[in-house]
Each structure stands twice: as C-alpha cells, then as structure tokens.
Amino acid sequence: MVSPFLPEAEKLAAVRDALPATAAGIYLNTGTAGPLPRETAAAMAEVAEWELTTGRAHVSLLPETLERMAEARAAVAAILTSDIDTVALTHSTTDGMNIGTWGIDWRAGDRAVTSSLEHPGGVGPLYVARDRFGVDLAIVDVGDGGDDDRTLTAFEAAITPGTRLVSISHVAWSTGAVLPVARIAELAHARGALVVVDGAQSAGAIPVDPDAIGADVYAIPGQKWLLGPEGMGALWVRPEALDRVRRTFAGYFSFETADGRGTGLPWPSARRFEGTNYHRPSVVGFARSCGWLSMYVGLDWAYARAARLARRSADLLAAIPGVELLTPRHQMATLVSFRIAGWTPDQALDELGRRVFAIARTLPAVNALRISVGFFNTDEEIERFCAAVAELAAHTPETLPRHRALPLLGQDAG
C-alpha cells in the first residue's frame, strides 16, 4: 500500500504500482487526463457490478447515492483546503465555468474580461454570452502569461466600472504559466466584478486555496491532476458569493425541499448548483481518487515532487539547441510547452511516440508540444524524453536516422 511515510524510492515504486498506466509508457499528458489509481478503478467496478446485479432501483440506492455524493464533496474540499459547504459536484471544468459565467443575469453592454490564454472550456461560455446578449467581451493580451506587471496593467485597464465578470485560468493550458489570480481578483473586486477561475490545470497539480486567491467561483475537473474518472468535476463557490451567482440549472439535487406546486427551497450551500443527475460509479471513483491522493500519497509530497520534476524538464529542454521553451520558468506549474526548430508539433509527437512512447500532446493553437509532469513520473523518464527531443532537435524530419530508435522503457538497451 502507498503510505506517506515510506522512503522516497519505495514510495515512488508503490505509487507507480498503484497507477498501472505509468507502466504503459512515459505518461506525460495528465493535463488531458491522468492515470487512474488501481483502487479507483476497482471501486468503480464494484459499484457498476452492484448496479448490474442488483439493479438501479433498490430502496437503498438514493440514500446511498446522497452519502457517496457527500463523500465526494468532502474529498474535494480537503484538496481545496475548504469547507464542505463550498463545494458542488459537476461533470467537468467546462460545466463549472458555464455555471459561473451564467451566474450573471447578462444585459446588453455589460462587460466581461478574460485573458488571451483561456481554454474553450472557460472562454466558450463568454462567447455565447457575447453572441446571445451583446456582452462586451474584453480579451486581454497577456503574452505567454509570464510577466505579471504586463498582465496586471492590462487587466487594470480592461476592468472598467461596468465590468460584471472576470474569468481567468489559474494555470494557462497552453504556456503553463501560473497567472496572478489573487491580484487580478483584487482589481476585479474593487470594481464590483465577480471572479470566476478555471482550475483545470491547477487542482491536484499545485496547492490550491480558492479563498486565499480571491476567487468567487473556482471550477475543477476530476479526470486530470486529481486522477479521477471522466465525467466528474467540482465547483467551489465563496459563501458570500452564493446569492450573487444566479442559478441557471436546477433539479432534484439542487433543492433542500421542492414540490410540484411552486415551492423550491435551494440548498443554503454550494449544493444548489448541482442541477443534473450523476453516474454513481464515477461519483465513487472521483471521491476515491481524491482520497487516495490526499490520504495515501500526501498532497505536499505530490506537489513538491511534481514541481521539481517539471522544473527539471523545463531546464533540460531549454538547454537543447533548437528547442524553444514557451513556458515561463519563473512562474510555472506542471505543464511544459516547447517547439523544436524544423519540426511541426505533429511530426515531433509522432517521432517521439516511436522512440519513447511518450504520452504527450500537441497544442495547435500555439504550434507547440506540451508535456504534463506528474509526481508519479521518474527522473529517468524525464531524461529519456528529453534525450529523444535532443535527438530530434539535432536533425530535421528528413535527416533523422531511421534505425536508431531508442528502446522502450523497461526494455534492454541492446
């Protein structure tokens, strides 16, 4: 069993054993979806089997479901160092960003401000608000996100007194920069705007305290750095902002009491934003992954290890002639983006895949490759990956020798 008290090498071995996908290749794409813990998959399978054999209509199912949902909220609250009542379950980051963005009763001419580094899951709802209600959407150019003075000056100019919402990523999905959310939130609050934060690339990757950084709404996924199943996410809502964030979706789970005759009393907590139904195995799996991370792996250990390995990756890549690092190293989390001169991202990903079976991704929007470095990665994996990048960088796709493929991890070098 993984325990926070094992020595580093033993602990790493136990962690990797508990994450079987780490043995399938160099797992460098947790920014899309992380490796599932074995025990999460087992818990999900157990619930699915129960549903298969007992059915989904047993009298105990609803109270059971409510308990499992409460456990999932509590597990998320522990990760966000928050009170349970601040957490609602959602289905994804995008779900939460929509709930936050539609928390404003938009009128034509209202202003919303966001950055030039947002993911469609965060900026998408703003485009809809603009196109549907004539919202004045300001997209602030923050470059690679690595210059806080530039970012803050641009936000200060854009957040005019009529601004109702500021929507911003904690960690930019393309360059990997950690954005100065706390100081942007101060500017937003001084002008009366609500602050909605996209935490897709932060929760489980770096320490997150939505209260301390001044978020009103903080949306996170289950499937990325929290190593949970797809189709689950969570939303943190500041207690004082609960009534300011208007509800758009509502249903059975949103109300403390509701009848069909006109009465619907929403939960006094963030639960009021739980509008739709949930997939029980995934609720259980989400709670199990969060619990596994915080209770067995230990968040401090995971954050420190991922930060060290990500930094090492960035340093090694930056030192390769022909490699251009997009990630600002003084302000990075666990994503590292880069370009290789002479190679398109697709060509490079294809060739790297052949050499080291690295599970990385391309970023067409910025014409680059991205790796996501997790606490479960090893130094050897990072060195192996960077050596393969160096080999590509020393050639072009036309001149690269075809018969010098690096061995897969775990295979003999010969």
Ligand X SMILES: Cc1ncc(COP(=O)(O)O)c(C=O)c1O
Positions touching ligand X (CB under 6 A) are 92-94, 119, 121-122, 169, 173, 198, 200-201, 221, 233
Minimum CB–partner distance for residue 205 and ligand X (Å) = 11
Minimum CB–partner distance for residue 84 and ligand X (Å) = 21
CB closer to ligand X out of 280 and 370: 370
Minimum CB–partner distance for residue 249 and ligand X (Å) = 16
Place of tokens 């997009």: 326
For residue 261, count CB atoms less than 10 angstroms from its CB and return exposed for 0-12, middle for 13-18, buried for 19 or more: exposed
Minimum CB–partner distance for residue 33 and ligand X (Å) = 9
Minimum CB–partner distance for residue 96 and ligand X (Å) = 8
| 408: DSSP letter | P
Burial 338-353 (b: 16+ CB within 10 A, else e): bbbebbebebbbebbe
Three-class SS state of 90: strand
CB closer to ligand X out of 94 and 362: 94
- Which helix (H) or strand (E) segment holds residue 283: the answer is helix 280-291
How, if at all, do strands 323-325 and 335-340 pair?
antiparallel
- Which helix (H) or strand (E) segment holds residue 236: the answer is strand 233-237
- Which helix (H) or strand (E) segment holds residue 156: the answer is helix 148-158
CB closer to ligand X out of 31 and 298: 31
Minimum CB–partner distance for residue 345 and ligand X (Å) = 17
CB closer to ligand X out of 212 and 365: 365
Distance of alpha carbon 398 from alpha carbon 414, whole angstroms: 25
CB closer to ligand X out of 285 and 298: 285
Minimum CB–partner distance for residue 315 and ligand X (Å) = 23
Minimum CB–partner distance for residue 369 and ligand X (Å) = 15
For residue 300, count CB atoms less than 10 angstroms from its CB and return exposed for 0-12, middle for 13-18, buried for 19 or more: exposed
Place of tokens 């929290």: 226
- Compute CA 249 distance to the chain's CA centroid, rounded to the nearest angstrom: 23
CB closer to ligand X out of 219 and 393: 219
CB closer to ligand X out of 37 and 96: 96
Residue 127: HSE in the Cβ half-sphere, 13 Å Cα cutoff: 7
CB closer to ligand X out of 175 and 377: 175
